[in-house]
Structure 1
Amino acid sequence: MSKSGKIKALLALKDKKNMDYANILNLARPQALTTKYSRESFTSNDLIKLAELTNTRLAFIDENSKPVVVFDKEDLE
């Protein structure tokens, strides 16, 4: 599954709309999110904001399923 597909799947699982995500990314035009999807041009900040929106965590997980590094809103630039 593509990065964009995973993002859309997470939004759907958490009952969030594309507009919710566009708003949290401060995108004024809905087409801007469509462009991000088509180019798969999501930054780490975009993904941290996605995690905040969906009440999930963005993390690097080791082979034992233990979070090694977890990103949150304090990591936003």
Structure 2
Amino acid sequence: MIKIMLEISHFAERKKNFPKIGLFLIFVDLRIFKALKRVKLIIAIKYSDKFGKNRNSWIANSLKIPKFKAKKITKPIN
């Protein structure tokens, strides 16, 4: 697994269902990339909720390139 840390703002503006994003973690599984010739991204998003409370909340989304269709995963990530 390769861990990449990015600061993302324009991606969050395109996806309306995303809350405010502070930290954007992308986990790339190279075994899936070798098998399917596609990169599967599991994205964990750390955000502050809309009430202004600074909680360490995470949202996980699974994306497949190049379609960029997000599927929400309700299981929290540590």
Q: Give TM-score, length-normalised by structure 1.
A: 0.25
**Would you tell me which structure has more helix in proportion to its own residues?**
1
**Would you tell me which structure has more strand in proportion to its own residues?**
2
Q: Give TM-score, length-normalised by structure 2.
A: 0.25
